[in-house]
Amino acid sequence: MAESKMISLRENIKSVVNKLVLILVFSFLPTSVIAQIKIYGNWEIGNLIGLNDVDEYSMVKQKEFSLGNSLTLNLDGTFSSGYSAKCGNDCFQNTSGRFIFIDEVHIRFILEDIHFSGFCGSNLKTESELNRDLGIFYIYKEANSIRLIKSNGILQDDKDKMLYNKMMDSFNWKLYDFVWENTKGKSREEIVKDYFDHSGKVNFSNCKVVISKKETYGQVILVQQKDNFYFVIYDDFKKKVSLAYPRQ
């Protein structure tokens, strides 16, 4: 009886000590490591990691019984992503590999395997031992989701890219007037230079095109001149271009 109580006491002490060790470990972890830990676990994701050439992945914490595309980031530095559905008459894709934290806001994925099962067609083949470097992604945390955005690993460039994307998302063509000019430009830079040179509004030599986005009404091009930004709209069908003039 005494021996049984002693074993029980030892187990309780061991449990308390283990909890204390965990508390101390997490107390002294740098904030960057704590931030990384929050990305581990199960996620719902728009695209499977490495299945296609994708510049951005968007993910939210996985619900208990969610279907569709999912991603698991394990503590041992491995990942797996896959597609699930209620119906078995479907093509089920799975990818797996390794990931490495470059720093607190950058992650690199290494794709090792792609697996297909079900009704996928003969052109989709399982591949293994790929060891394919998918590159570095910027970890951008929003209120209820995380975006993994292709990156060159330079934080300031990532912050600039997020600023440009937010500016593009906020653009509403209905709030602007346009003065259209013909253009023979092929690239974004040639198109913008055509307009600026003809209108004389802006000196293009001091500008750079930072981002563009295709919309139903045309291509929106964001141009930066030091601390100033301009929206330029290009109509690919009519081969016309205009600066977006804010309505007074």
**Residue-by-residue DSSP string for 32-86:** HHHHHHTT-EEEEESS-TTTS--SEEEEEEPPTT--EEEEEE-TTSEEEEEEE-S
* Residue the block writes with tokens 């792609």: 114
Token pair, residue 6, equals 């002693």
Instruction: Using the 3D structure, point to which of 145, 163, 181 is the last residue of a domain.
Output: 163
Average pLDDT of the residues in 129-145: 91
Alpha-carbon separation of residue 40 from 46, 79, 161, 185 (angstroms): 17, 10, 25, 47
28, 47: one domain? no
Q: Does residue 240 form part of some domain?
A: yes
Q: Does residue 241 form part of some domain?
A: yes
Q: Does residue 168 form part of some domain?
A: no
Question: Each residue of 74-130: pLDDT tens digit?
Answer: 999 999 999 988 777 788 999 999 999 999 999 999 999 999 988 887 767 778 878
187, 141: one domain? no
Contact between residue 218 and residue 236 where contact means Cβ atoms under 8 Å apart = yes
43, 131: one domain? yes
Tell which wins on pLDDT, 245 or 248: 245
Alpha-carbon separation of residue 46 from 66, 68, 110 (angstroms): 13, 9, 19
Element (H, E) at 107: strand 106-118
- The residue type of 189 is E
* CA quadruple 50, 52, 56, 62: dihedral, nearest 10: -60
Instruction: Using the 3D structure, point to which of 163, 189, 223 is the last residue of a domain.
Output: 163
141, 221: one domain? no
Tell which wins on pLDDT, 67 or 6: 67
Q: Does residue 87 form part of some domain?
A: yes
**Per-residue confidence (pLDDT) for residue 178, from 0 to 100:** 95
46, 148: one domain? yes
Question: Each residue of 201-213: pLDDT tens digit?
Answer: 788 888 999 999 9
Statement: residue 6 has pLDDT above 70 = no
**What is the number of domains present in the chain?**
3
Query: Quick one: residue 153, left, alpha or beta (phi over 0 = left, psi -120 to 50 = alpha)?
Result: left
Instruction: Using the 3D structure, point to which of 130, 163, 196 is the last residue of a domain.
Output: 163
* CA quadruple 86, 91, 92, 95: dihedral, nearest 10: -150
134, 186: one domain? no
Question: What is the distance between the alpha carbons of residues 52 and 111, in angstroms, rounded to a whole number?
Answer: 11
Contact between residue 104 and residue 31 where contact means Cβ atoms under 8 Å apart = yes
30, 42: one domain? no
Question: Each residue of 32-84: pLDDT tens digit?
Answer: 444 454 799 999 999 999 999 899 999 999 887 778 999 999 999 999 999 98
Statement: residue 21 has pLDDT above 50 = no
96, 158: one domain? yes
Question: How distant is the alpha carbon of residue 137 from its chain centre?
Answer: 7
Question: What is the number of alpha carbons within 13 Å of residue 158 lying toward its C-beta?
Answer: 20
Range of the domain at 62: 38-163
**Per-residue confidence (pLDDT) for residue 204, from 0 to 100:** 85
14, 114: one domain? no
Question: Each residue of 149-165: pLDDT tens digit?
Answer: 999 999 999 999 999 98
* Residue the block writes with tokens 């030091």: 226
Token pair, residue 114, equals 């792609």
**Per-residue confidence (pLDDT) for residue 248, from 0 to 100:** 78
Question: What is the distance between the alpha carbons of residues 189 and 6, in angstroms, rounded to a whole number?
Answer: 79
105, 200: one domain? no
Q: Which of 11-25, 115-129, 218-232 has the lowest mean pLDDT?
A: 11-25
Q: Does residue 129 form part of some domain?
A: yes
132, 239: one domain? no
6, 49: one domain? no
Give pTM, 2 decimals: 0.70
**Per-residue confidence (pLDDT) for residue 13, from 0 to 100:** 38
